[in-house]
């Protein structure tokens, strides 16, 4: 009986087994070397990946179809002069449209604006409203409304739910003033970020 073919097969199998464990080790070594090399060049792919992931987590507007509304100077300067300039995706189009048509009685105040400014602000609010922006936050707000048309941010069911664990007395504090004063606790509200990681409730 010729044992040579059998010995050849056994030798080949043993060789494969001998070198297989080294493959993942080598792959891991290559990964470590790549990270070390990238750190020298200040171009760590893994670091960039985790950084982008953290940024997406912080931004409540992130989703597959989300987009953050670009700031509008006229809106910021006009509305932000008296109160926090709320992001358009915090209210539905119908609510913004009604507010813009009743500037002569804006919660007890009369707002005088030229036609061009009114059109610019109205277009900005409409384009980036909760039902048009497709942000994750806007989608949740629209879903919570169930076809209702609130006239105040503080009437949005989704926002009320997000703050339900906070005692109403907290909003009465002099350092906060009211539930509508988002920037009092949300330190990154001006950037449209309302993540819990950036909330500081003043005493």
9 found inside a domain: no
What does DSSP assign to residue 164? T
Higher pLDDT, 48 or 108: 108
**Is the per-residue pLDDT at 170 higher than 60?**
yes
Task: Give me the residue label for tokens 């007890």.
Answer: 108
What's the token pair of residue 6? 């059998």
- Does pTM top 0.75 for this prediction? no
Structural element, H or E, at residue 55: helix 45-58
Identify whether the C-beta of residue 89 lies closer than 8 Å to the C-beta of residue 68. Answer: no
What are the tokens at 146? 């169930």
Q: Answer for the pair 164, 157: CB distance below 8 angstroms, yes or no.
A: no
What's the CA dihedral at 120, 121, 122, 124 to 10 degrees? 90
What is residue 6's predicted lDDT score, i.e. its pLDDT? 64
Give the pair of three-digit tokens for residue 171.
């909003």
Residue at 15 is within a domain: no
Distance, in Å, from the CA atom of 7 to the CA atom of 93, rounded to the nearest integer, reads 80
Residue 139: inside a domain, yes or no?
yes
The arithmetic mean of pLDDT across residues 126-144, rounded, is 95
pLDDT recorded at residue 26? 44
* pLDDT score for 15: 58
Contacts of 198 (CB under 8 A, 6+ apart): 58, 186, 187, 188
Give 29 or 110, the one with higher predicted confidence.
Answer: 110
Residue 188 lies in a domain: no
Q: Of the ranges 10-19, 20-29, 64-73, 169-178, which one carries the lowest mean pLDDT score?
A: 20-29
Q: Which two tokens stand for residue 185?
A: 């606790």
Give the pLDDT confidence score for residue 2 in this predicted structure: 57
Give pLDDT, residue 164: 94
Identify whether 150 is part of a domain.
Answer: yes
Residue 5: in which H helix or E strand, if any? helix 4-19
Domain housing 141 = 73-162
Report yes or no: 69 and 192 within 8 Å, Cβ to Cβ: yes
Distance CA 203, CA 184 (A): 11
CA–CA gap between residue 110 and residue 130 (Å, rounded): 26
Euclidean distance between the first and final Cα of the chain, in Å?
92
Residue 80 lies in a domain: yes
Our count of domains for the chain comes to: 1
Size of the chain in residues: 203
pLDDT band at 3 (very low <50, low <70, confident <90, very high): low
Domain-embedded: residue 172: no
């Amino acid at each position: 009986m010729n044992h040579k073919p059998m010995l050849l097969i056994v030798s080949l199998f043993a060789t494969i087994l001998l070198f297989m464990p080294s493959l993942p080790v080598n792959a891991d070594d290559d990964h470590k070397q790549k990270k070390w090399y990238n750190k020298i060049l200040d171009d760590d792919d893994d670091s960039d990946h985790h950084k982008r992931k953290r940024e997406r987590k912080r931004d409540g507007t992130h989703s597959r179809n989300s987009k953050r509304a670009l700031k509008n100077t006229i809106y910021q300067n006009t509305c932000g002069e008296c109160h926090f300039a709320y992001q358009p995706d915090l209210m539905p189009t119908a609510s913004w449209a009604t507010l813009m048509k009743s500037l002569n009685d804006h919660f007890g105040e009369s707002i005088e604006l030229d036609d061009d400014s009114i059109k610019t602000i109205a277009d900005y609010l409409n384009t980036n409203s909760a039902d048009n922006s497709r942000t994750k936050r806007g989608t949740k707000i629209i879903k919570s409304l169930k076809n209702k048309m609130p006239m105040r941010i503080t009437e949005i069911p989704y926002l009320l739910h997000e703050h339900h664990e906070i005692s109403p007395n907290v909003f009465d504090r002099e350092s906060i003033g009211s539930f509508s004063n988002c920037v009092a606790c949300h330190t990154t509200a001006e950037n449209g970020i309302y993540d819990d990681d950036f909330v500081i409730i003043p005493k």
